[in-house]
Homo-oligomer: A and B are copies of this chain.
Amino acid sequence: MNADLRKINDLDRLIHEPARLMIVTILSAVESADFLYLQHETGLTRGNLSAHLSKLEEAGYVKIEKTYKGKLPLTVCKLTATGQKALNGYRRQLQQFMAATTG
C-alpha cells in the first residue's frame, strides 16, 4: 500500500489547492471564460480569484488576455495545453489513490 500512498505526496499542489482546482475544472469545460464569469461560478472574491489566476498563469497553465468589450475592460482566461495535461494527470493520480485506499 505505501507506494500508492506516497504518490499522493507528488500531487501537483498548484492544482490540488481547492480554489485553483475549481478554476482549472471550469476552464477545462469551456473554450475561454472571462473574469466575471469565473467569479460568478467559483464564488471567489475578486482578489482571491485574481491571485489564483496569476499563479496559474505563472505556471503556464492558464493564458490571460486583457482586452476590451466596447469600452469595458475584459479579462479572458483560457486553459493551456500544459494546464489541461496537468489537470488530467492530477485527476488520474487522485483516482488511483482513491481506488488503492479505503476510508
Q: Which residues of A contact B (CB under 8 A)?
A: 1-2, 5-6, 8-9, 11, 13, 16, 18-19, 21-22, 25-26, 28-29, 40-43, 84, 87-88, 91, 94-95, 98, 101-103
Residues of chain B with a CB closer than 8 A to A6's CB: 22, 42-43
Verify A22–B9 contact, CB threshold 8 A. yes
Contacts of A16 in B (CB 8 A): 16, 18
Classify the interface of chain A: helix, strand, loop or mixed: helix
Inside 8 A of A40's CB, which chain B residues have their CB? 2
Q: Which residues of B contact A88 (CB under 8 A)?
A: 103
Is B22 touching A18 in the complex (CB atoms < 8 A)?
A: no
A8 to chain B: which residues have CB within 8 Å? 18, 21-22
What are some 12 contacts across the A-B interface (CB < 8 A)? Answer: A1-B26, A1-B41, A2-B40, A2-B42, A5-B41, A6-B43, A8-B21, A8-B22, A9-B19, A29-B102, A91-B103, A94-B94
